[in-house]
Amino acid sequence: MDKKQNIKELSYQELSEYLSSIGEPAFRAKQLWQWLWQKNVTGFDQMTNLSKKLRARLKEDFVFEPVEIYSYQQSPTDQTIKYTFRLKGNHLVEGVLIPSRSSERVTACISTQVGCPLGCKFCATGTMGLKRNLHAYEIYDHLWLLNQQSQKHFGRKLTNIVVMGMGEPLLNLDNVLLALDIITSDQGLGMSPQRITLSTVGMVKELYRLADMKPKFNLAVSLHSAIDEVRSGIMPVNKSNPLPDLVKALKYFHKQTGKRITFEYLMLAGVNDSIKDAKALADFTRNFPSKINLIEYNETPHSIFRKSPPERVREFVNFLENRNLVVTVRRSKGSDIAAACGQLVKITDRNKQLFNFDHLKPENKNIS
Ligand code: SAH
Ligand code: SF4
């Protein structure tokens, strides 16, 4: 017998066609869609405005494979909460809730791949390799759960989303765009695209494709060095996407969208934090309206890098500010629970030792 299809892998169009093929009126598609996406139910019996007969038919034809919260842990210092979600096939990905100090803003950080194939040298996720891409509904569902958890823990819905968890979003672009479409649609979560930021290492070919779609969300590029040799040394992807090509693609992106581009720059002691590096960064970012986020490196016990000392960061910032560039320095949130970006990693025994994921014991999982 064929395996039943997961109902959340159907587009609105496909759902409508299916319903009309079994003799249901057109308005059913909207009702069904609302149950699946806005109310995010996990069983057909919860769809109380559909007839028992239709529910039975849906049960015969489809299955649910819901994303579940597997565990969570809150940082005692900054209240950041890291969640581990279980996907079909027992894959685990992570998402993080980051409240601002006054909880006026709550930002969700979401994942797009189980692991990541790009192997940046400073990134824990990169050590996993790629297991698989997330389906659009899996991206949407873990965001939906984070939104629910935000209301529970911080008394408010999400205000911002960063696509900065596990994975490289431009390597799973179709599913990411589909998920963001529903997240921003009134038929989904109705969030403003202006409050969404997608972070990429800057895959050149995909950036052109994205630019032509004129997205309304914000783009952040993980630059980490504006000198080709240095960048290739810490980010192997730079070899096939070198900086001159990246500049061209980003100029095109700006032309198509009119958007300012954010550059993320991890401060790695002795690697990319000299005045020569700052000058290269200044020259690079002058090609388009831009903003620079200097990020404190999250050291892990086995990291080969160290974070830049504060006085070095200060000199770097001064250099950039004296050239009238917009610079912010971001302290990593949630670093005490390995929740900060770049520390999201699947829990294998080795990583359990590395990152001390003791909280991920099965008895912790029923938390809803
Ligand atoms: N693949 C995308 C999005 C996920 S990574 C990208 O690389 O942009 C999200 C951000 O976390 C990136 O800017 C990445 O460079 C940064 N990051 C990775 N490892 C880190 C670490 N150990 N400390 C701080 N930031 C890190
Ligand atoms: Fe992948 Fe981003 Fe980590 Fe690089 S920094 S390995 S692209 S998740």
Domain end point (choices 48, 63, 78) = 63
Q: Cα(289)–Cα(229) distance, rounded to whole angstroms?
A: 25
Query: Do 304 and 221 share a domain, yes or no?
Result: yes
Q: Looking at ligand 2, which atom is closest to the CA of residue 113? A: 8
What string of pLDDT tens digits covers the 368 residues of the chain?
Answer: 568 999 999 999 999 999 999 999 989 999 999 999 999 999 999 999 999 999 999 999 999 999 999 999 998 888 999 999 999 999 999 999 999 988 799 999 999 999 999 999 999 888 889 999 999 999 999 999 999 999 999 999 999 999 999 999 999 999 999 999 999 999 999 999 999 999 999 999 999 999 999 999 999 999 999 999 999 999 999 999 999 999 999 999 999 999 999 999 999 999 999 999 999 999 999 999 999 999 999 887 678 999 999 999 999 999 999 999 999 998 766 666 555 555 555 444 334 433 333 333 333 333 33
User: What is the per-residue pLDDT for 345?
Assistant: 58
225 and 349 inside one domain: yes
Range of the domain at 324: 68-365
Instruction: Show the ligand 2 pocket: residues with CB < 6 angstroms.
Output: 116, 118-120, 123, 125-126, 167-168, 201, 222, 342
Helix (H) or strand (E) segment spanning residue 29: helix 27-33
CATH of the domain at 46: 1.10.150.530
What single-letter amino acid sits at 231? R
Task: Determine which residue's CA is closest to atom 3 belonging to ligand 1.
Answer: 164
pLDDT, residue 77, reads 87
Query: Could you identify the atom of ligand 2 that is nearest to the CA of residue 201?
Result: 7
- Nearest atom in ligand 2 to the alpha carbon of residue 167 is 8
Is there a single domain that holds both residue 23 and residue 147? no
pLDDT the model gives residue 127: 85
Same-domain status, 155 and 297: yes
**Cα of 111 from ligand 2 centre, angstroms:** 11
> Which residue among 63, 83, 110 closes a domain?
63
Strands (E), the chain: 5-6, 62-63, 68-74, 81-87, 91-99, 106-109, 113-116, 129-133, 160-163, 196-200, 218-222, 261-267, 290-296, 327-330
Closest to 232 (Cα-Cα) out of 262, 210, 202, 208: 202
**Is there a single domain that holds both residue 107 and residue 188?**
yes
> How many structural domains compose the chain?
2
> Is 211 in the same domain as 359?
yes
Same domain, 41 and 156: no
pLDDT at 303: 83
Query: Considering only CA atoms, which residue is closest to atom 6 of ligand 2?
Result: 126
Indicate if 18 and 165 belong to the same structural domain.
no
Q: Is the CB of 200 under 6 A from ligand 1?
A: yes
Structure tokens at 222: 């993980």
What CATH number does the domain containing 96 carry?
3.20.20.70
Q: Which residue, judged by its Cα, is nearest atom 8 of ligand 2?
A: 167
Q: How far apart are CA 168 and CA 207, in angstroms?
A: 12
Same domain, 78 and 204: yes
Is 237 found in the same domain as 158? yes
7 CA to middle of ligand 1, Å?
A: 33
318 and 361 assigned to the same domain: yes
- Cα-to-centroid distance, 60 and ligand 2 (Å): 41
Whether residues 240 and 346 fall in one domain: yes
Model pLDDT, residue 368: 30
Pairing of strands 160-163, 106-109: parallel
At residue 338, the pLDDT reads 57
Domain's final residue, options 25, 43, 63 = 63
